[in-house]
Chains A and B, each alone.
Chain A
């Protein structure tokens, strides 16, 4: 039998498909299928044992009547829009520092980045201990300066600020990206500005910032998207506090750190309202999808304005 002869584009297509096939299969199995079925589940009621029963819009009505949904949404928005700019500022500051040439720069960069690779459970444990109102280091250090530190994770007014602090410790990844961006700014720009007599600060504002704007915008939106998925830390803190006096239930003191994804998780696996959890998750998915589209649009626009890459 004669082997059928394919032309080059056909052969490329088959090879390309073949090489990419594991990911394509995985895409359908682990992304498309769960996304579609979770949309279907959001119109049904079921728990871990029963099969889904169609209930129409009941879950969505339930969501809009549940004050904890709005509470958790508020907490998540706090993380997205208060924590993100702070993180970005810290990351940019750290990145600017490690871009300067000085002795021990490598060590300092390691110190800034290392927190980002530590397993979250271990990192969160340390922070819970450091936030201890009486025996924790943070309040004791504040005490040196005569500041009477708050109860942090035990006091609903300060829980989220404690999370913000924890977040700034974890900006290593953003810092590295900012660092790479800073280093990609052509040296000649600075030199000509210096000749024109521009000071350090005006050079930073008029040259550095515009040159790395697309990276900053991208990182800002990425951080916001991540904030919408903020789960691990609060899950660990709330279960750790559950055993402690004053810790309270699933969402920390007064549900002040009940994040939206944590509430989805609680609905799905503690209250076994899997239909409601799916509906909540889909609302989250829509928000994240819209933000992603905005992100790609804006980055493209900023990049184009900056002369493109």
Chain B
């Protein structure tokens, strides 16, 4: 009997917590389906009094939404390419090549994770503005072609798990380091590359600070900037704002639905060992 009560209490706790965690999503979606005057009527109801979809076309027309989405998608695709290209190379060097620098560089990779972006932003701004590259996507994309610490750590972890015997067998057969990397290691690391691709997508899609610093021309805004701008100008029209937010969030949720396993594994392994 006591066990029954306990498990009932446990389930109640779980349900309450799950509802709390989901509620902002519900609020977002349900507010976007209300008329604005409905959203501002007392008593506040969770469900719309009248279900409408008019906020979606209205929000997408109020700001150049698809332009922003295109800009963001362009930056995101370039970033993913950059990270996918560089991360496995560097990680392979650190995990599978037996050289003196590997230990030092692994340490430095970890150290750069801790460098606050606020410390580097002024000099970076200074350089890019001297080169006339503000209001371009170069400052947002270029760094992704030089590897990001978090991804390298995840990939290094993965490479470390590949048995050396596989690579040594190829070495005896006369394969060069490059052949071993491309023909053996790279094909094996597809799962971890998916993980890194997803993180790269997420980071680029939601990036806020760098676009805020470098992009001032409205037609070059990313979704993050455009949405923030929209919010500060039309802060009374919450039904539309929520519709805009739903469209912004949707690709992320879809990605998450498909690749949840990769998300979870990436964090779990890196967080524990790193």
Residues of A within 8 A of B (CB): 9, 11-13, 15-20, 22-27, 29-31, 33-35, 37-38, 41, 48, 94, 97, 100, 102, 107-115, 117-123, 125-130, 132, 134-137, 140, 169, 173-174, 176-177, 179-181, 184, 215, 219, 225, 228-229, 231-232, 235-236, 239-240, 242-244, 261, 264-265, 268-269, 274, 277-278, 281-282, 284-285, 288-289, 292
Give the most central of A19, A22, A27: most B CB within 10 Å: A19
**Across the interface, do A129 and B272 meet the contact criterion of CB distance under 8 Å?**
no
Cβ-defined partner of B120 (8 Å) among A17, A30, A117? A30
Bound complex: CA A289 to CA B272 (Å)? 21
**Across the interface, do B116 and A261 meet the contact criterion of CB distance under 8 Å?**
yes
Given contacts A117-B252, A288-B114, contact A19 B93 (CB under 8 A): yes
Least distance between A9 CB and chain B CB atoms (Å) = 8
Identify the closest chain A residue to B272 (Cβ). Answer: A180
Least distance between A235 CB and chain B CB atoms (Å) = 7
Identify the closest chain B residue to A238 (Cβ). Answer: B232
**Across the interface, do A30 and B143 meet the contact criterion of CB distance under 8 Å?**
yes
Q: Is the interface of A mostly helix, strand, loop or mixed?
A: helix
**Across the interface, do A115 and B21 meet the contact criterion of CB distance under 8 Å?**
yes
Q: Is the interface of B mostly helix, strand, loop or mixed?
A: helix
Taken residue by residue from 245 to 274, chain B's Cβ proximity to chain A (1 for < 8 Å, 0 otherwise) reads as 100110011001000100110011101100
**Across the interface, do A31 and B115 meet the contact criterion of CB distance under 8 Å?**
yes
Identify the closest chain A residue to B238 (Cβ). Answer: A129
- Given A113-B263, A265-B118, list of 14 further CB < 8 A pairs? A16-B98, A20-B93, A24-B105, A111-B22, A117-B263, A118-B206, A118-B252, A119-B223, A119-B224, A126-B28, A173-B267, A176-B267, A219-B271, A239-B231
Least distance between B92 CB and chain A CB atoms (Å) = 6
**Across the interface, do A126 and B122 meet the contact criterion of CB distance under 8 Å?**
no
**Across the interface, do B44 and A180 meet the contact criterion of CB distance under 8 Å?**
no
**Across the interface, do B90 and A177 meet the contact criterion of CB distance under 8 Å?**
no
5 residue pairs from A and B, CB less than 8 Å apart:
A108-B14, A113-B263, A117-B256, A129-B238, A243-B235
A residues less than 8 Å from B145 (CB atoms)? 22, 26
**Across the interface, do B115 and A35 meet the contact criterion of CB distance under 8 Å?**
yes
**Across the interface, do B17 and A94 meet the contact criterion of CB distance under 8 Å?**
yes
A residues less than 8 Å from B89 (CB atoms)? 19-20, 22
Given contacts A169-B24, A288-B114, A289-B114, contact A119 B248 (CB under 8 A): yes
B residues less than 8 Å from A235 (CB atoms)? 208-209, 212
B205 interfacial contact with A, CB 8 Å: yes
Q: Which of chain B's residues 84-139 have a Cβ closer than 8 Å to chain A?
A: 86, 89-90, 92-94, 97-102, 105, 108-109, 111-112, 114-126, 129
**Across the interface, do B39 and A229 meet the contact criterion of CB distance under 8 Å?**
no
A residues less than 8 Å from B126 (CB atoms)? 37, 41, 274
A residues less than 8 Å from B22 (CB atoms)? 111
**Across the interface, do B260 and A110 meet the contact criterion of CB distance under 8 Å?**
yes
**Across the interface, do A121 and B21 meet the contact criterion of CB distance under 8 Å?**
no
**Across the interface, do B14 and A97 meet the contact criterion of CB distance under 8 Å?**
yes
**Across the interface, do A17 and B99 meet the contact criterion of CB distance under 8 Å?**
yes
Bound complex: CA A177 to CA B269 (Å)? 8
